[in-house]
Amino acid sequence: MALGIWILGDRLTTKQLSLQNNQDNKQQTPVIMIESSNYVRQRPYHRQKLVLVWSAMRHFAQELKTDNWQITYETASDFLTPLNKWIKDQQITELQITTPCDRPFLKYIQSLDLNCAVTFLPDQHFLWSRDEFITWVKSRQRLLMEDFYREGRKRFNILMDGKKPLGGKWNYDQQNRKPPQKSLQTPQPLTFKPDAITRSVIDLIKQEKLANYGKIEPFNWGVTRGQAQAVLTHFVQECLPQFGTYQDAMITGEYTMWHSLISPYLNLGLLEPMEVIDAIEHAYYQQKLPLNSVEGFIRQVMGWREYMHGIYDYQDEDYAHNNWFEHHQPLPEFYWNANQTEMNCLHQTLTQVEETAYAHHIQRLMVLNNFALIAGISPQSIENWFHSAFIDAYDWVMQTNVLGMGQFADGGVLASKPYAASANYINKMSDYCRNCKYNKSDRTGDQACPFNFFYWDFLNRHRERLKSLGRMNLVLSHLKRISDEELAQITFLAKQWWATQGSKDY
Ligand SMILES: Cc1cc2nc3c(=O)[nH]c(=O)nc-3n(C[C@H](O)[C@H](O)[C@H](O)COP(=O)(O)OP(=O)(O)OC[C@H]3O[C@@H](n4cnc5c(N)ncnc54)[C@H](O)[C@@H]3O)c2cc1C
Ligand code: SF4
């Protein structure tokens, strides 16, 4: 029986079982990695996403080769042709693959007509396995992230004082999320100059026109595990102390604030979640950092990330088609071209995504997603856009974040109420409204901010549905104070806005 290993592009870790189990036999174990141009043409990916993934794959292959693995690296149009040729040449009878996190990719691999047996090995890239998460779900009456997070803290003994949370509280969010202040000194992100490998991928993508969204350069992302570790160290030293306080703030031209920028590396396997958590906890004890920042960050990785992945695994594939509000408007063209909108918050955030393939959580949730939600855009089309546009996007993280959290398309599996907001929130948490042609305070009239008329129209349109969610009652009570005449004007503006986008069906 001859064994072969196929390393997938988002599992760039030597800790995966197929490599671990064959450490003592590496020179006799063929390993293959494949870049498929057909596969990446399935979506209009951001150019930098392709550069990151292919450059990181090529670097990882080089590291395996240096470590004496018998590695074959193929660039091909499809996966099947090079796979079957390699299986034949190497006389492989069993192909081992780490189970992909993304359901569509797993189904795709299962559909390949391979000339040998295939064994899927468990993916160990998350702290909770699928079975462990489901056991937790079955023990609960409600699926609250906060409950899951506390369970994780106890289970992995992180920020604990015996059986109690360190500092006496599980969650220090009330000390976080301050609005931006004038003259904040934000840290510079750690950037990397493309080396010869990265340059060759940039040239290839340009030549072959493999992607056409977003700027390809400057490309500042790390592409190796060493660089990913350096980003983590930089974050701990330069950003972590202030991370919590300004976690939700948005400032024009400040792309990264105190955020870590580690999601692309975690999602590719270049960083492990527990090594991130350990580094943060260690820094807390060594450097006596503020607990609100440390706890706030650990909650992101140990709580939100694991929870989003667990819920994705727990739901079936129909989750992708959910559309609780029955929203069907098409995605406006400006999501692909920031210059086509004069809404400054969207213009700034979309410009940033074009330049870097990155935006931080609140820009994603409360600007990009919020607009799609209140304007009635189809959840699947905004999910498709996010999946294409972001450097860290994969099916497992898209569905729960965009469909569940952002669009409330699952009707409340994940969130207890929709994240819908007017200009009031954006003005409080950013400086975008100061330089906008729209008036942040108006919901009717020539200068009315679209976030305002769409927000009130959203509440009005879905009034009955929203009543069923207890947490919306306070907001709905504000709706009652708006006169029928003003509501009619609001609806008129919303319809007119869509008509200017070429859609009359709103
Ligand atoms: C609409 C929407 C789309 C998103 N799309 C993605 C995506 O494509 N890929 C992605 O990894 N995350 C996504 N997120 C979650 C989160 O916004 C990003 O993980 C985070 O902004 C990445 O930047 P960072 O590494 O600087 O994060 P930080 O703010 O520094 O947070 C630290 C880490 O916590 C983890 N994390 C925090 N929240 C989440 C979450 N909700 N889901 C998963 N991980 C989380 C990430 O690994 C992140 O790197 C999305 C959130 C929303 C609301
Ligand atoms: S006024 Fe409205 S459109 Fe302009 S930046 Fe503020 S929220 Fe965005």
The CATH number of the structural domain formed by 3-121 is: 3.40.50.620
The residues, any chain, with a CB within 8 Å of residue 504's CB and separated by 6 or more, are 498
Residue of 424, 438, 493 best suited for mutating to test ligand 2, as the one with most atoms within 8 Å of CB: 438
Residue 88, pLDDT score: 97
* 459, pLDDT greater than 80: yes
Class of domain 321-500: mainly alpha
Q: Which residues of 155-167 are buried (b: 16+ CB within 10 A; e: fewer)?
A: ebebbeeeeebbe
Is the Cβ atom of 405 under 6 angstroms away from ligand 2? no
CA 434, CA 251: separation in Å to the nearest integer? 11
Q: What percent of the chain has pLDDT over 90?
A: 92
Q: Which residues of the chain form CATH 3.40.50.620?
A: 3-121
CA 149, CA 161: separation in Å to the nearest integer? 16
DSSP lists the bridge partners of residue 213 as 46
Is the Cβ atom of 261 under 6 angstroms away from ligand 1? yes
Nearest ligand by distance to the CA of 303? 1
Nearest ligand by distance to the CA of 383? 1
Nearest CA to ligand 2 atom 6: 433
Residue in the block written with tokens 């906060």:
146
Residue 194: pLDDT band with limits 50, 70, 90: very high
From the CA of 472, how far away is ligand 2's center (Å)?
A: 23
Whole-number average pLDDT of the chain: 96
Residue 396, pLDDT score: 96
Is the Cβ atom of 347 under 6 angstroms away from ligand 2? no
pLDDT tens readout for residues 6-25: 999 999 999 999 999 999 99
Query: What CATH number matches the domain at 130-194+204-314, 1.25.40.80, 3.30.1390.10, 1.10.287.950, 1.10.287.110?
Result: 1.25.40.80
Q: Which residue has the higher pLDDT, 296 or 174?
A: 296
Residue 504, pLDDT score: 82
Residue 168, pLDDT score: 95
pLDDT tens readout for residues 21-69: 999 999 999 999 999 999 999 999 999 999 999 999 999 999 999 999 9
- Segment 395-408 shows an average pLDDT of 97
35-43, long-range: CB within 8 Å, 24+ apart, which pairs? 35/9, 35/74, 35/75, 35/76, 36/76, 36/77, 36/78, 36/79, 37/75, 37/76, 37/77, 37/208, 37/210, 38/77, 38/78, 39/78, 39/79, 40/210, 40/211, 41/210, 43/384, 43/387, 43/388
Is the Cβ atom of 205 under 6 angstroms away from ligand 2? no
Q: Which residues of the chain form CATH 1.10.579.10?
A: 321-500
Residue 142, pLDDT score: 86
pTM for the whole thing? 0.97
- Three-state SS string over 308-367 comes to HHHHHHHCCHHHHHCCCCCCCECCCHHHCCHHHCCCHHHHHHHHHHHHHCCCCHHHHHHH
Residue 404, pLDDT score: 97
Tell me, what amino acid is at 203? D
Q: Which residue has the higher pLDDT, 338 or 212?
A: 338
Nearest CA to ligand 1 atom 49: 263
Is the Cβ atom of 415 under 6 angstroms away from ligand 2? no
User: Measured from the CA of 368, which atom of ligand 1 is nearest?
Assistant: 1
* 326, pLDDT greater than 90: yes
From the CA of 304, how far away is ligand 1's center (Å)?
A: 8
Q: Which residues of the chain form CATH 1.25.40.80?
A: 130-194+204-314
Cβ atoms of 432 and 348 within 8 Å: the answer is yes
Residue 141, pLDDT score: 86
pLDDT tens readout for residues 403-420: 999 999 999 999 999 999
